[in-house]
Copies of this chain bind each other. A is one copy, B any other.
Amino acid sequence: MSVLVVGSVALDSVATPFGAVEEALGGSACYFSTSASFFSDVQLVAVIGEDFPEEHVDFLASRNIDLSGLQRSHGETFRWKGRYEYDLNEAQTLDTRLNVFEQFRPQLSDAHRDAEYVFLANIDPELQLEVLQQVKKPKMVACDTMNFWIGGKREALIKTLGYVDILVINEAEVRQLADEPNLIKAAEIVRGFGPRILVVKRGEYGVLMFTDHAVFSAPAYPLESVFDPTGAGDTFAGGFFGYLASIRNLDEASLRRATVFGTVMASFTVEKFSLERLKNLDIKEIEERYRHLRAMTEFSLP
């Protein structure tokens, strides 16, 4: 089944303690759709400028991503510039230029209005809802957000969450959104806003997923070298949601497998800059890390 994703396509300049890259392919929708494309068909809705390199379009097309919703506008592509210190858990934003992304008001085509699986990447929550309301009969809706919207557009965000099945956000954002320091309590408050499935990303500490039935914990994949964490969260979401769309099931066991696939996909992204590692990845490598994570977490009853 096909996944529709709305978000950003960007040119990222990133410096880490291990190197730097200029104007590389990035943006939430890019990481998401590339990751999801390993599991499912993907329809990408986003905007790029006149300066967007054709090679990036070619790459996305090579992943069989439907680019009919990738609108090219007059002006420059969205640019983000950031750096990381040795504590790779937090990016320091040096510069953000929205450019064509500032005027992005996606109008879905008739084909896209039929989407059943919709992922609203991290954009203005009013825009998320505007997009979602163009979809005729969504079966499964997930979204991401960030501290900027939680602080600045809280009411709009909570309204959007009322239409969402799955929220995928960072640990600090769960606490901020719930205004509650204890994560377990905060998770229940946030689930009360609408999403019955809450996936909490904790960087190198893995993921906690809260559902009606249980809390599920998955560790991050242990890596000897984390090169650049940019896009890890969006890559996680792509693997998670792409897998769910492929099996068309939201039961507890499927959600857990989806969490582990998301974790595996994110572990590849952080090994290189931009989407370089995902460009050279095959399904065997994905399955191997999946099995490794299972072996890492198994223990018997006493």
Contact = CB atoms under 8 A, between A and B. Distances in A.
A224 B186 CA distance: 9
A217 B296 contact: yes
Interface string A87-109: 10000000000000000000000
Interface string A150-193: 00000000000000000000000000000001111100000000
Q: Interface of chain A, helix or strand or loop or mixed?
A: mixed
Contacts of A298: 256
A38 B213 CA distance: 31
Interface string A197-213: 00000101110100000
Contacts of A217: 206, 219, 296-297
Contacts of A291: 301
Interface string A259-273: 111000000000000
Given A185-B224, A216-B297, 6 more contacts: A206-B217, A215-B296, A219-B219, A259-B299, A287-B302, A297-B297
Given A202-B205, A219-B217, A299 B253 contact: yes
A296 B225 contact: no
Q: How many copies of this chain? A: 2
A111 interface: no
21 contacts: A86-B181, A87-B181, A182-B223, A182-B224, A182-B225, A182-B226, A183-B222, A185-B224, A208-B219, A208-B222, A214-B295, A216-B296, A217-B297, A219-B219, A253-B299, A256-B299, A256-B300, A257-B299, A259-B299, A290-B302, A294-B299
